[in-house]
């Protein structure tokens, strides 16, 4: 077997299971999991109906490039959402089976292993796939701490020249998991200039882009920043989007990658061999989802209600700020975050994820220490119940 498999870290949920092992909660109150980022709002009925209606398409092999109609509806959605002049449905877009596989596969396709010091830069804390993908592609992950004093945005100005020269791929996550931080258009433009100067690719994971709270402040995307620069070929830039959070369809496994046509066409070649075409019925259901915004507005409204209620309950008890986007809260813990998570489970049967499990030691610290991640994915009632139990527990410390 590939010895690099030994470089992979245990997934945060394995660590969480170990932390909770052998503990029996002291309360009979039902368990509430704020630990897993799985959307729980109802998926749009019309998408499920389309999926059921098209199930007969399992008798067809799907093309890796996907149906023209799907790429066209993605192109219309992206052009409208990010004010793009054009996004070529023929060459600049590929359907993917969720962004998780696409982020992993894209990294394998784009790293040049012949460079002895290939580096992949990523935020810290981070979505765990970035690190594993970098290591299995033969590159070294470089962790960019996201600290409160910088509004949880990496300090890109502090990165040295040698690191930029070795950088082959820069992962961005905006809105961020777990902090909800959003990169500004100016920061994106600065990074595009650096990508040109040092010849690297920017992969922007934007799978939370539709979960924002102010209807007048939709997060800027990387392609939007390119378009504002008049860079309509999106050179060196790709974005990842998903129906999992936008449309509450995590099990559909549907998303897309879009951007620089040259990169997308090379990635298509990779995917043809990798064998990961999206099933035709999934593609047809996805078209229905991308063509509708009404359900996305309703989805945002549900999160808005939950964040308002939970932040109001936690206010004055835990140090927490509502982020501009995503479905996560990232509060500071008054005690060690693992201890907080373990004892909260024991006392109140509520599970949160210790922030340190989502981050690595870099520049002398683990930036997830002293934080927990709470995913507000359960119902409004459950989220309020969980917040009240968290308050009761925190006050008892």
Ligand X SMILES: Cc1ncc(COP(=O)(O)O)c(C=O)c1O
Q: Residue numbers of the site for ligand X (CB under 6 A)? A: 37, 98-100, 127, 173, 177, 205, 207, 242, 244, 250, 255
**Shortest separation between residue 384's beta carbon and ligand X, angstroms:** 23
CB–CB of 125/179 below 8 Å? yes
**Shortest separation between residue 230's beta carbon and ligand X, angstroms:** 29
Based on CB atoms, which residue is closest to ligand X, 177 or 394?
A: 177
Three-state DSSP class for residue 140: strand
CA 11 to chain centroid: 16
- In whole angstroms, what is the distance from residue 359 CA to residue 357 CA? 6
The closest residue (CB) to ligand X is 98
Based on CB atoms, which residue is closest to ligand X, 205 or 382?
A: 205
Based on CB atoms, which residue is closest to ligand X, 62 or 257?
A: 257
- In whole angstroms, what is the distance from residue 26 CA to residue 347 CA? 5
**Shortest separation between residue 253's beta carbon and ligand X, angstroms:** 7
- In whole angstroms, what is the distance from residue 108 CA to residue 267 CA? 9
Based on CB atoms, which residue is closest to ligand X, 255 or 323?
A: 255
- In whole angstroms, what is the distance from residue 337 CA to residue 311 CA? 19
Based on CB atoms, which residue is closest to ligand X, 187 or 235?
A: 187
The sign of the torsion formed by the CA atoms of 157, 160, 164, 170 equals negative
Based on CB atoms, which residue is closest to ligand X, 127 or 152?
A: 127
**Nearest alpha carbon to residue 238 among 123, 70, 103, 101:** 103
**Shortest separation between residue 250's beta carbon and ligand X, angstroms:** 5
**Nearest alpha carbon to residue 62 among 288, 240, 283, 290:** 283
**Shortest separation between residue 282's beta carbon and ligand X, angstroms:** 13
**Nearest alpha carbon to residue 330 among 217, 150, 176:** 176
* Neighbouring-strand partners of residue 170: 121, 202
Based on CB atoms, which residue is closest to ligand X, 98 or 219?
A: 98
**Shortest separation between residue 117's beta carbon and ligand X, angstroms:** 26
**Shortest separation between residue 30's beta carbon and ligand X, angstroms:** 24
Token pair recorded at residue 345: 């489970």
**Shortest separation between residue 244's beta carbon and ligand X, angstroms:** 3
Residue 364 neighbours by CB distance under 10 Å:
6
Based on CB atoms, which residue is closest to ligand X, 100 or 295?
A: 100
Token pair recorded at residue 131: 């690190």
**Shortest separation between residue 242's beta carbon and ligand X, angstroms:** 3
- In whole angstroms, what is the distance from residue 45 CA to residue 38 CA? 18
- In whole angstroms, what is the distance from residue 351 CA to residue 358 CA? 15
CA 188 to chain centroid: 17
Strands 353-354 and 32-33: unpaired
Task: Tell me 365's DSSP state.
Answer: B
The number of C-alpha atoms within 13 Å of 22 and in the hemisphere containing its C-beta is 2
Based on CB atoms, which residue is closest to ligand X, 125 or 370?
A: 125
């Amino acid at each position: 077997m590939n010895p690099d498999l030994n470089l992979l870290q245990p997934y945060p949920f394995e660590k969480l299971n170990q932390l909770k092992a052998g503990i029996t909660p002291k309360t009979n109150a039902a368990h509430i999991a704020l630990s897993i980022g799985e959307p729980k709002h109802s998926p749009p009925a019309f998408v499920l109906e389309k999926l059921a209606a098209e199930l007969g398409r399992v008798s067809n092999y799907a093309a890796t490039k996907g149906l023209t109609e799907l790429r066209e509806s993605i192109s219309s959605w992206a052009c409208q959402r990010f004010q793009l002049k054009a996004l070529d449905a023929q060459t600049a877009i590929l359907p993917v089976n969720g962004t998780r596989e696409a982020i992993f596969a894209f990294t394998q396709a784009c790293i040049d292993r012949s460079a002895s010091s290939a580096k992949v830069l990523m935020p810290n804390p981070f979505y765990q796939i970035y690190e594993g993908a970098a290591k299995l592609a033969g590159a070294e992950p470089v962790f960019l701490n996201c600290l409160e004093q910088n509004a949880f945005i990496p300090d890109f100005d502090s990165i040295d020249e040698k690191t930029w020269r070795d950088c082959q791929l820069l992962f961005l996550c905006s809105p961020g998991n777990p902090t909800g931080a959003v990169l500004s258009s100016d920061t994106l433009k600065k990074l595009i200039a650096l990508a040109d100067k040092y010849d690297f690719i920017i992969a922007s994971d934007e799978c939370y882009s539709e979960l924002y709270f102010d209807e007048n402040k939709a997060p800027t995307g990387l392609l939007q920043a390119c378009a504002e620069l008049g860079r309509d070929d999106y050179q060196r830039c790709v974005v990842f989007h998903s129906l999992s959070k936008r449309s509450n369809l995590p099990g559909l496994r549907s998303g897309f990658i879009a951007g620089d046509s040259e990169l997308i066409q090379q990635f298509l070649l990779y995917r043809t061999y990798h064998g990961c075409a999206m099933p035709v019925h999934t593609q047809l259901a996805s078209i229905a989802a991308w063509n509708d915004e009404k359900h996305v507005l309703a989805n945002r409204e549900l999160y808005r209600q939950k964040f308002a209620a939970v932040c109001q309950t936690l206010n004055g008890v835990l140090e927490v700020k509502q982020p501009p986007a995503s479905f996560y809260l990232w509060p500071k813990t008054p005690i060690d975050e693992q201890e907080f998570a373990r004892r909260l489970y024991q006392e109140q049967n509520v599970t949160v994820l210790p922030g340190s499990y989502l981050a690595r030691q870099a520049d002398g610290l683990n930036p997830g220490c002293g934080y927990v991640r709470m995913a507000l994915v359960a119902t409004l009632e459950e989220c309020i119940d969980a917040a009240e139990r968290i308050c009761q527990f925190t006050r008892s410390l």
